Structure 1
Amino acid sequence: MADRTTVPDTGAPDTGVPGDGVWWLPSGGSSTTPTTVGVDALGAAVAAIARGGVVAVKGVGGYQLVCDAADETAVARLRELKRCPARPLPVMVAGLGTARQFAHVSPAEARLLTAEARPVVLVRRRREAKGLGASVHAGLPDVGLCLPPSPLYDLLLRGLAATDHGQRGRLLAVTGGNRPGASVAIDDAAAIAALGPLVDGMLGHERRIRAHCDDSVMRVVAGRAALLRRARGYAPAPLPLPVPARQPVLAVGARSGHAAAVAVGAEAVLAPHTDGAAEPPALDDFVNSVERLCRSHGVQPRIVAHDLHPGYVSTAYARSHPGRRMPVQHHHAHVVAVAAEHGLTADFLGVAYDWPGMGDDGTLWGGEILHASCTGYRRLGRFALSALPGGAAGHRPARTALGYLYGLEEVGSPPPDPRLAADLLDRIGAEEAAIVRRMIGRRVDAPLAGSCGALFDAVAALLGLCDQATYEGEAAAALEAAAAPYLYAPALPWTLTRRDGVAVYDPAPTLRAVLTHRRPAGWVAAAFHTTIAEVTCALVASAAARTGVRTVCLGGDLFTNRRLTSGLLDLLGRLGMKTYTGERVPVDDSGIGYGQAAVAAARLAAE
């Protein structure tokens, strides 16, 4: 069922069509009371955007900031307001015809774009298309497109298409209506106070927004539609549980920006994703979301499932809750989320590829092959450990690369010679490199991590693609983008070792090849993707031989990578494995609450 995030007040219009309920407030004046209404309000917004302005528009699930996606100056200003220099921006188009002018839209993607939920759909952009600013998609091969989610947006786009003979304004760059670190505005007065001084005007209406809800994001991988962000239009539709919950369960997810879930009986409800970090407004959003979720479903949970990480806001919230706490390992929750969505009750092999998360042995995990069920797991494969300077919260892929150069452990072959990374060391500088090397040597803020995400970050930095990430996953996105022109490249050297009965991927030969290859960076990036797919197949085959299990679930943030996921689905299929990925539940941390709820319900049933 769709989540209707707005509820019309008595007497207010319920369509968003211009009338007395639609208003425009220009910037620059002292008044906070709109004086322009109806069609004139819409015309004022169209004129402001056509002049290259940034406008705050009251959307379906909160205020949004919009500008002409073809105007690089306007997009640059929008990015400056949001302090997001590189994150790709969604683009709203009037219809499928326009979408096909700028992207290769398959029939499956067209069905998603025109669905009632109106999600943002990641599609392969046309390199030759003109009229879409390059800074909108930040050079990535995909662009996020969506159709108007309300009649007001539809009329806004129609008005823009009529300006300048339709040569401009057919596309809107769209992002959340909030200052960096703050909540997305849903209340008119709060929006006017927060956004009014920043924009060229505000276009609103009289419908009250009861709760903030982001746009959902989807993509098609190997013919399978997958939710990357489960929000407006899809949440809070209930999801099945393979094992019913004997008592009400609250699962609080991982970090504060991700969705909680409640489990009652045979169903779980995953709250809409909210984008936020561990800052006070986002913490308020998290607490309000949890309380609203419990209240709307009449649940007083007796069990609270949470992540192992002691520093997460969600873990602190769980500690303060009067119910019984049930810790769930991060990567176990990832793969169980996939298994539970598909109704699996038997054991399965879980591949959890993620950025570093708390393991159960004192190290950070993220490159795991698990023999798992909903109640527990056994670790059968993993990535070798390396030092992680700055810890899991680091956004410096260049430092992560130094961790592999100076702090790679458990390798059966010689580690890569740091002198091969002269370009990286020059970019970092001698002083910072020396500091990081001391951190690694003394184990100061440099924990050990065996993470697929960390390795992707390191390779991106070694290839000169991303030294400093401005958003989560930027380095991995840059690596995938660089590989895009190469349909195929053979794997780089790799090897497996064994530690305490666990198969371990030793990346030293791979890293040496990355540093010594004389091919273009994009070719090496493509070869690295092939390498990880082959390594994973070898780890899964080893686990299948030990257990007899041939069902595989792929979970974790790295499986938002289309190239890695599709390549692995192909290779595992050739091995005769039945492989599942997240479709209705995101594979990243925003789906982890559902996995925690499924684990808690199964453990309760087993008691």
Structure 2
Amino acid sequence: PLERSLGAWLPRALLATGGHLKVTVALAWDERVVVSPHIGELDSPRSNDIFKNIINDIQSLYDVKSQAIVCDLHPGYASSRWAEQQDLPLIRVQHHAAHASSLAGEHPDIENWLVFTWDGVGYGNDGTLWGGEALAGRPGEWNRVASFRPFRLVGGDKAGREPWRSAAALHWEEDKELSGQTAQNPVPDFIDAEALSLAHHAWQRGANVFETSAVGRLFDAAAALVLDRSVASFEGQGPMELEQIAQNGCEAVPLPISPDDSGVLRSDWAPLLPVLGNRGLSASERAGIFHETLAQALMDQAMKAGERVEFDAVGLSGGVFQNRRLAERVVELLTARGIAVRLHREIPANDGGLSFGQIIEAAARETRS
């Protein structure tokens, strides 16, 4: 287990159950927090048994019995359902607030944050699926200030395994068809025509459709369009391959940014579509343009958010920032503007860090109240 100091005294012992993928659990008491070893995905009876056993083991090892449980906001997560079944007070923490707090917990010297939490999926406060969020504030007091234009995605969990679904959804949002290169070939070779047609009909009817702002899904769409990838053999395959081939020195496509009805700044991905589908450019060029565009979009959001809120540092958290090319370019752009940037050190940027972040977030609420 990984042990860290909380820097504040907890009034009661807390157990955090993490998310659904790359699960860890965390136990906190007094001024200490302990994060378990990696458990993995809670998608089988065996993994759920391991999850429960580790919860019992970590409490026995430290002779600490949790007095409240912290879980993700998502109602469908097995970890959240388990937490609900326990006869203990329940503290729910939004997915990206946990990501932001996990980073803040590693850098307690920073008081005011602007944390970009980019990943594949996380249940938002509004019931949509977030994943491209910028949160301003500090643990216990996060406010969403920037994101991406949301789009409707069909297929539920299939979307993460079949990146063509994200590519198609972006085109449908723009009232465009995802087409092949010739009139004789109206559907791209790498996509099954029947599956595409069924998905489009479902999308039009709103059947099994959810709204998302996730950058992870934008990466999936780019991988489908640039690499002709319809199915991922493992999680993150397309984005990893896109990072690997991306050419250096590419120019960004400017993305319009404007506030939505609730005041959240939204970057619009639409100008990327013609470039990603442009076969006159090499795959390496298109991959490079995509990375540079996202890095510049983040910087634009940071600069505009800075006109509204004060922050001491920008943080990068969430699985998307395991992409070294993107993270390093973002750091380069922001530091050139004199903005301090903080990254994860010991705690994973991906969902493996959620349990620690849940503890930091819940502890801030507990000690403040």
Q: TM-score range, shorter-chain basis?
A: over 0.9
Instruction: Please show how residues 412-491 of structure 1 align to structure 2 within 5 Å.
Output: 418-419=178-179, 425-483=188-246, 486-491=247-252
Following TM superposition, the consecutive aligned residue runs of length 4 or more in structure 1 with deviations greater than 4 angstroms are 414-417, 420-424
- Is residue 76 of structure 2 the alignment partner of residue 314 of structure 1? no
> Over residues 463-519 of structure 1, what are the superposed CA-to-partner deviations in whole Å (9 max), with x where a residue is unaligned?
134211122111111111121xx2321112422132021110100001122123621
- 2:280 and 2:186 map into 1 onto residues whose CA distance is 14
- 1:517 and 1:265 map into 2 onto residues whose CA distance is 59
- Corresponding residue for residue 146 of structure 2: 381
Asked if the contact 1:240–1:340 (Cα under 8 Å) also holds between the matched residues in 2, the reply is no
Amino acid at match of 1:418: L
Q: Alpha carbons of 1:603 and 1:458: their partners in 2 closer, same or farther (altered >3 Å)?
A: same
- Corresponding residue for residue 535 of structure 1: 297
- 1:248 and 1:606 map into 2 onto residues whose CA distance is 16
- 2:260 and 2:290 map into 1 onto residues whose CA distance is 24
Give SS of 1:372's match.
Answer: strand
- Corresponding residue for residue 343 of structure 2: 581
- 2:336 and 2:187 map into 1 onto residues whose CA distance is 38
How far off is 1:310 after superposition? 1.0
Q: Alpha carbons of 1:303 and 1:345: their partners in 2 closer, same or farther (altered >3 Å)?
A: farther
Give SS of 1:494's match.
Answer: coil
Q: Alpha carbons of 1:364 and 1:442: their partners in 2 closer, same or farther (altered >3 Å)?
A: same
- 1:563 and 1:276 map into 2 onto residues whose CA distance is 26
- 1:393 and 1:507 map into 2 onto residues whose CA distance is 22
- Is residue 310 of structure 2 the alignment partner of residue 548 of structure 1? yes
How far off is 1:348 after superposition? 0.7
Q: Percent identity?
A: 30
Amino acid at match of 1:306: C
Higher gyration radius (CA): 1
Give SS of 2:287's match.
Answer: helix
Asked if the contact 1:363–1:448 (Cα under 8 Å) also holds between the matched residues in 2, the reply is yes
> Which residue of 255, 275, 284 corresponds with 1:494?
255
Q: CA RMSD in A?
A: 1.8
How far off is 1:321 after superposition? 1.5
- Is residue 170 of structure 2 the alignment partner of residue 404 of structure 1? yes
How far off is 1:523 after superposition? 1.3
Asked if the contact 1:242–1:345 (Cα under 8 Å) also holds between the matched residues in 2, the reply is no
How far off is 1:576 after superposition? 1.4
TM-score normalised by L of structure 1: 0.58
Asked if the contact 2:111–2:312 (Cα under 8 Å) also holds between the matched residues in 1, the reply is no
- 2:51 and 2:226 map into 1 onto residues whose CA distance is 38
- Corresponding residue for residue 20 of structure 1: none
- 1:279 and 1:381 map into 2 onto residues whose CA distance is 36
Amino acid at match of 2:164: A
> Which residue of 238, 251, 269 corresponds with 2:16?
251
> Over residues 214-245 of structure 1, what are the superposed CA-to-partner deviations in whole Å (9 max), with x where a residue is unaligned?
xxxxxxxxxxxxxxxxxxxxxx1311224432
TM-score normalised by L of structure 2: 0.94
- 2:244 and 2:86 map into 1 onto residues whose CA distance is 43
Instruction: Please show how residues 358-369 of structure 1 align to structure 2 within 5 Å.
Output: 358-369=123-134
Asked if the contact 2:190–2:228 (Cα under 8 Å) also holds between the matched residues in 1, the reply is no
Aligned length: 364
Q: Alpha carbons of 1:519 and 1:259: their partners in 2 closer, same or farther (altered >3 Å)?
A: same
Worse-matched range after superposition: 423-432 or 350-359: 423-432
> Over residues 59-102 of structure 1, what are the superposed CA-to-partner deviations in whole Å (9 max), with x where a residue is unaligned?
xxxxxxxxxxxxxxxxxxxxxxxxxxxxxxxxxxxxxxxxxxxx
- 1:551 and 1:374 map into 2 onto residues whose CA distance is 14
Asked if the contact 2:23–2:42 (Cα under 8 Å) also holds between the matched residues in 1, the reply is no
- Corresponding residue for residue 268 of structure 2: 506
Give SS of 2:328's match.
Answer: helix
- Is residue 136 of structure 2 the alignment partner of residue 371 of structure 1? yes
> Over residues 561-591 of structure 1, what are the superposed CA-to-partner deviations in whole Å (9 max), with x where a residue is unaligned?
0101111111111121111111110000001
- Is residue 360 of structure 2 the alignment partner of residue 598 of structure 1? yes
Instruction: Please show how residues 72-111 of structure 1 align to structure 2 within 5 Å.
Output: none
How far off is 1:327 after superposition? 0.4
How far off is 1:545 after superposition? 1.5
- 1:572 and 1:252 map into 2 onto residues whose CA distance is 34
Asked if the contact 1:256–1:282 (Cα under 8 Å) also holds between the matched residues in 2, the reply is no
